[in-house]
Chain A
């Protein structure tokens, strides 16, 4: 019930005294109101902006946050106020809703932010007042469309192929998105070229060429070089037919494909040729055949697959159908009116062109569209007067629906541009996301190293990096997961490398970049730098390995003799201590075909997807990225 009703209820109840003398039965007892009826002022602090309101105001809507006991969760005893850590500007509107019973939508706010605030305070957006409802709905629809577009664009074109796609699916994808593979691109350009060739041939065919010897008349080139043109036509049609059949084969839904506009255009483009082949060279029928040749010009519409602008234009016209319809209707009305008037005005003139009303249609159309050919001209005064009125009104009638169409076109065009831009930024975005994910993983793996320290060696200096408590807790969580499943996290590179091969027979020499990192300070951070360097080095090493599982050796060399030199140089080092000092590793992966559930001691970190291939040595687990297959 609205706020006003709540205010008037006591009044209505009091007026019920008027029924008492008439009552047939005894009245029921009234409800007892335990709460104190005294109204009090509440303080609501929203991010520092203090609002004050009567308690009754908030109680008007008991199913919202502020009206129910839910607000007690936000009550701050020290300051005796309700504190909300939300947008104070938006809260103004929320509070006004309680005061006036009408929710208004502020035009300058973002629709999503507004919706979120409403959801937080428990207010349903349906109660937005009529004054702001339209605007709200429009913006919301716009936003949703945009989101839908974005998700569509994300999912649609440039996603990598699902791994197990049949050749048919791949073919279809190649047709739809030519830039996915080189073959598709080549095919795309070839068809484009042939469309152009075909259209040009159609056009040139009718140009008059020099007549052959012995004839005076100018022949159109089509007839002079009929064989050449025929061959060209055949070639184009063959290509088009082939393309159409391939598309038909690859289409996921053949019925739907056959009904689509582009396929119809394709068919219409190539049919005349086949019909021409089939039809006999009969003089009577060739008239109809000539009509069919006109349809060859539809090949130019095949360009719409290649040109986005054409598609946009077509789509615009489709979406402006109502405006175009209105334009047509109003034009027709005006034409009929003016044609009638002009006919009767010019009826008396001798030798007039306005022989009938339909004949006057031509004059009216030409005048209203301001063409003014001049083949029909009024002579009488009345005719001239009405003729001028006709041309003036023509300008108006045609100019009216045009801005609507233009704005539609502009909107669609900008939408498309935005989609294109988004696709271009897609790669950057994905890369960023991947980087962020990797950052988290890196941080975690690094954390594990340091935990590894603490496990084994309490003497070693604890290199506490500046990590927030959030990161600590997150890492602990990941650690728990690892322990639960008895698998360990690795990163992408190591995983992919493990997939590829395990045979590392050789060690390449240490890259110079590593040795350059020797004299780094004793903080923990150089490890990361070194890791990066090692990774760099690894990436330069060409992958020339077999896919045989082999045992390789793990070697750890310590180049810098630090005070805590506890490096062990044997192959399976489980007690490798990594401290904060710089260390060079030459290491290789040891792949042992032992089952993963080995000893927790060894704590082999198998990559999750390859159960048979394990990595020995705990040390490798901590420096996954550093310990690559190829030693350095």
Chain B
């Protein structure tokens, strides 16, 4: 009895196999559409987001660069990012190349936010150039403003200790492990304390823009060093 069941069972199995193979063959040939969504084709359309910058004259008006400088800058920019936009990942990769020993991604994140003025997740050429103009050709106040904007992570107008700590930690991260003397774990917080002692006039735990600019203007070292990077371009 069991033998007969075995035989019949195998028979059934065989017939079922055949039917399935036949159906698959039909589907492959395109004669039947098995109702399962085939979503592979939609990936073929690549959506290319592209951005064209504003005209040369407008940029000249907005920044302090000459026409030639803008042209040179744009050529370099376009060469690297043909789509005209830099997203955060690319930015992090690029910036990390300059600091091979440490981890520059966190600081790059903050830097990205500082450049990305309209907070849309990508730096356009205008953002790029306006930021550079402030950094290289701007007045001292503008530069300090920019720095304050960088430190103020949530852009609420106040630098808190936590924000500063994050910034400081990311800067120390860029140094990496192999430094002399070794970076201790407390080094960032100590540095933050010193910073707050210097900047926070009214000891309310936050640094406002006025406090910041005032303190910096009184500090000779800082003022002298502001001219350092003017000849970068």
CB distance from A303 to the nearest CB of B (A): 49
Say yes or no: B10 contacts A5, CB within 8 Å.
no
B-side contacts of A24, CB under 8 Å: 191
Cβ of A18 and Cβ of B111 under 8 Å apart? yes
B128 neighbours in A (Cβ, 8 Å): 11
Residue B34 lies at the interface, judged by CB distance under 8 Å to chain A? no
Contacts of B136 in A (CB 8 A): 14
The stretch among A25-33, A65-73, A526-534 that forms the contact with chain B is: A25-33
Distance of A581 Cα from B226 Cα, bound (Å)? 93
Which A residues touch B56, using CB under 8 A?
none
**Interface residue total, chain A, C-beta cutoff 8 A:** 46
B144 touches A21 (CB 8 A): yes
> Cβ of B4 < 8 Å from any Cβ of A?
yes
Name the A residues within 8 Å of B231 (CB-CB).
30, 32-33
Choice from A19, A27, A345 contacting B10 with Cβ under 8 Å: A345
Pick the contact of A13: B143, B191, B229 (CB < 8 A). Answer: B229
Q: How far in angstroms is the closest Cβ of chain B from A72? A: 23
Main secondary structure of the interface of A (DSSP, over half): helix
Q: Is the CB of A1 within 8 A of B97?
A: yes
Expressed in whole angstroms, the Cα–Cα distance for A460 and B135 within the complex equals 87
Query: Is there a chain B Cβ closer than 8 Å to A4's Cβ?
Result: yes
Contacting B6 at CB < 8 Å: which of A4, A5, A16, A344? Answer: A344
**Interface residue A381 (Cβ < 8 Å from any Cβ of B):** yes
Q: Nearest chain-B residue to A29 (Cβ)?
A: B228
Q: Does A20 contact B (CB under 8 A)?
A: yes
Smallest CB separation, A395 vs chain B (Å):
16
Please state if B147 and A20 are interface contacts (CB–CB under 8 Å): yes
Would you give the 0/1 interface string for B169-196, flagging 1 where the beta carbon is closer than 8 Å to chain A? 0010000000000000000000100010
User: Is B25 on the interface with A (CB-CB < 8 A)?
Assistant: no
A381 CA / B11 CA spacing, docked (Å): 6
How many residues of chain B are within 8 Å of chain A by beta carbon?
A: 51
B7 beta carbon closer than 8 Å to chain A: yes
Question: Are A13 and B68 touching (Cβ within 8 A)?
Answer: no
Contact indicator per residue, chain B 195-233, by CB within 8 Å of chain A (1) or not (0)? 100000000000000001000100001101110110111
List the B side residues contacting A375 at CB < 8 Å. Answer: none
Residue numbers in B under 8 Å from A348 (CB-CB):
3-4, 6-7
Q: Which residues of B contact A (CB under 8 A)?
A: 3-4, 6-7, 10-11, 13-15, 17-18, 68, 72, 75-77, 79-80, 94-95, 97-98, 111, 114, 128, 131-132, 135-136, 143-144, 146-147, 150-151, 168, 171, 191, 195, 212, 216, 221-222, 224-226, 228-229, 231-233
Q: Which residues of A does B touch, CB under 8 Å?
A: 1-5, 7-24, 26-27, 29-30, 32-33, 37-39, 54, 56, 99, 341, 344-345, 347-348, 380-382, 385-386, 389
Given contacts A12-B95, A18-B147, 12 further A-B contacts (CB under 8 A): A9-B98, A10-B233, A14-B131, A17-B147, A17-B226, A21-B147, A26-B225, A32-B231, A345-B10, A347-B3, A382-B14, A385-B17
Q: 9 smallest A-B Cβ distances: which pairs?
A: A7-B76, A385-B14, A14-B135, A382-B10, A348-B7, A382-B11, A382-B14, A348-B3, A27-B225
